[in-house]
Amino acid sequence: MQNEKNTPQENKMGVMPVNRLLLTMSLPMMISMLVQALYNIVDSIFVAQIDEYALRAVSLAFPIQSLMIAFSAGTAVGINAFLSKTLGEKEYKKANTIAMNGIFLEVVSYLVFVLIGLFVSRPFYASQSEISQVREYGVTYLTICCIASIGIFMQTTFERLLQSTGKTFFAMITQGVGAITNLILDPILIFGLFGLPRMGVAGAAIATVTGQVVAAILAIFFNLTRNKELTLSFRGFRPDGRLILRIYQVGIPSIIMQAIGSVMTYGMNLILEAFGTAQTVFGIYFKLQSFVFMPVFGLNNGMVPIVAYNYGAGNRERVIQTMKSSIKFAVGIMLVGLIVMEVIPGKLIGFFNPTPELLEQGIPALRTICLSFCFAGYCIEVGSVFQALGNGIYSMCVSIARQLFALLPVAYLFSLTGNVNMIWWAFPIAELVSVGMSTFFLFRINRKIISHIGEEKD
């Protein structure tokens, strides 16, 4: 047992006023994720200058890239929630062991995606497009992104370790530096500036993975030098099956939930293949919506450790207040996104060097899909509360119902009309399903867990 001299001071997550704490922890992550969203969009803008097939190829890579993020971020969610709760319980040695097991799991996940890059890239593209140029662009891009994906796995893990101890400012710096690195390298490598060879989509992929590696190195540095609540060392390390199971109790539902997004995107691309340019429209939408969703995910990253910490500390009032504030902020952000997409969809699509056909299909698509935004803000925050309280299975059930049992079937049925504009209505319809289920589970978790937090200390 640690004596008082060696015990760290009370973490700000347990004492700072909730609204100020939420903004303090979330704003750095929201800013860094906005920068990430910006580089996602700019990356596609540069690729679009090659030709539409290049833009389509990069867009079609999204399901595998999303799956990669699902494994890296999903595991990190499990680490984050478990670690923050453990710190709230003042078990600092156990927190260090959790962190090392989490890093081990991320390395194993990276090795899986190396194999995917080597053996799955070509059949993956062959299943989505019959255009040979799209296939060749895509295989080149995706193979590089998978084989060199160690950066995204390490970046995600070490940033979440910073977040779990309340040091979101340093996580903001790592994400920002990684994104800026990508932005600088994109035009240089894609178009062959400063005497370098013109690399096209391969240059876009190399710029992406380089930015991730730079961010990972910086995140590791900050953990070793600034994160005093954790002592990271692999000396004498052995995987702990019990702790790994606890990490994955929250992590696996999160992985599945995000992986379902990959399945949904892949399924939508298959449905939209018959409508030609619609695949590119769908890809552009995902780039643009990231500029709205990323700040909400940044809010999540600030909210989850606060809820988990105060859950572990037995402070029910702070858990409830954090949850309510995060929902209000998220819905507000999504409202702004909805207004922008409704008012200037043509100007947004105009950044991607569009053909007349792309504009004709894209404008009604953005205006229809964005109707789901306000519902999505509520559902995202409620789902993250489930994860922070160790009940990620609820989030998983909502995600499965929304994307596999609502969105894809409705999109397929609407595609039978032959009118591509009907397909986009599947998004707001599916989000209404998500609202209903999220609310049901919120009442359930309030009755079973939230209302009982701190009772043993009364």
C-alpha to C-alpha distance for 144 and 152, rounded to whole angstroms: 13
Residue 5 has pLDDT above 70, yes or no: no
Q: How confident is the model at residue 2 (pLDDT cuts 50, 70, 90)?
A: very low
SS3 195: coil
Identity of the residue numbered 303: M
C-alpha to C-alpha distance for 203 and 208, rounded to whole angstroms: 9
Q: Are residues 162 and 180 in contact, defined by beta-carbon separation less than 8 angstroms?
A: no
C-alpha to C-alpha distance for 20 and 282, rounded to whole angstroms: 37
Phi-psi region of 54 (alpha: psi -120 to 50; beta: other; left: phi over 0): alpha
Q: Are residues 169 and 206 in contact, defined by beta-carbon separation less than 8 angstroms?
A: no
C-alpha to C-alpha distance for 361 and 280, rounded to whole angstroms: 10
Identify which of 167, 184, 295, 182 has the alpha carbon closest to the alpha carbon of residue 221. Answer: 167
Residue 183 has pLDDT above 90, yes or no: no
Q: State percent of the chain over pLDDT 90.
A: 47
C-alpha to C-alpha distance for 257 and 164, rounded to whole angstroms: 21
Residue 458 has pLDDT above 80, yes or no: no
What pLDDT does 3 receive?
A: 45
* Start-end of H helices in 120-240: 121-126, 132-147, 150-164, 168-191, 201-226
Identify which of 226, 88, 100, 99 has the alpha carbon closest to the alpha carbon of residue 169. Answer: 226
pLDDT in tens, 423-452: 999 999 999 999 999 999 999 999 999 888
Average the pLDDT over each of 68-77, 107-116, 377-386 and give the range with the smallest value.
68-77
Locate 4 and state its tokens. Answer: 């008082």
Residue 166 has pLDDT above 90, yes or no: no
Residue 346 has pLDDT above 90, yes or no: yes
Q: What mean pLDDT, rounded, does the chain reach?
A: 87
Identity of the residue numbered 397: C
Residue 250 has pLDDT above 90, yes or no: no
| Sign of the torsion angle spanned by Cα atoms 282, 40, 211, 71 | negative
Angle at 333 between CA 67 and CA 358, to 5 degrees: 60
Residue 202 has pLDDT above 90, yes or no: yes
What pLDDT does 7 receive?
A: 47
CB burial readout 339-374, b (16+ within 10 A) else e:
ebbeeebeebbeebbbeeebbebbbebbbbbbbbbb
Question: Cα 244 to the chain's mean position, in Å?
Answer: 22
Q: How confident is the model at residue 91 (pLDDT cuts 50, 70, 90)?
A: confident
Residue 74 has pLDDT above 70, yes or no: yes
Identify which of 328, 306, 324 has the alpha carbon closest to the alpha carbon of residue 315. Answer: 306
C-alpha to C-alpha distance for 256 and 397, rounded to whole angstroms: 10
CB atoms inside a 10 Å sphere around CB 274: 11
Q: Are residues 181 and 35 in contact, defined by beta-carbon separation less than 8 angstroms?
A: no
Model-level pTM greater than 0.85? Answer: no
Number of C-alpha atoms within 13 angstroms, CB side, residue 64? 31
Cα separations in angstroms, 398 against 94, 117, 164, 215, 402 = 32, 30, 25, 32, 6
What pLDDT does 365 receive?
A: 96
Identity of the residue numbered 261: G
Average pLDDT score over residue span 145-167? 87
Q: How confident is the model at residue 61 (pLDDT cuts 50, 70, 90)?
A: very high
Phi-psi region of 414 (alpha: psi -120 to 50; beta: other; left: phi over 0): alpha
What pLDDT does 102 receive?
A: 84
Residue 4 has pLDDT above 70, yes or no: no
Angle at 267 between CA 249 and CA 76, to 5 degrees: 25
Q: What is the DSSP string of 338-377?
A: HHHHHH-HHHHHHTT---HHHHHHHHHHHHHHGGGHHHHH
119 vs 7 pLDDT, higher one: 119
Question: Cα 180 to the chain's mean position, in Å?
Answer: 18
Longest dimension (CA), the chain: 71
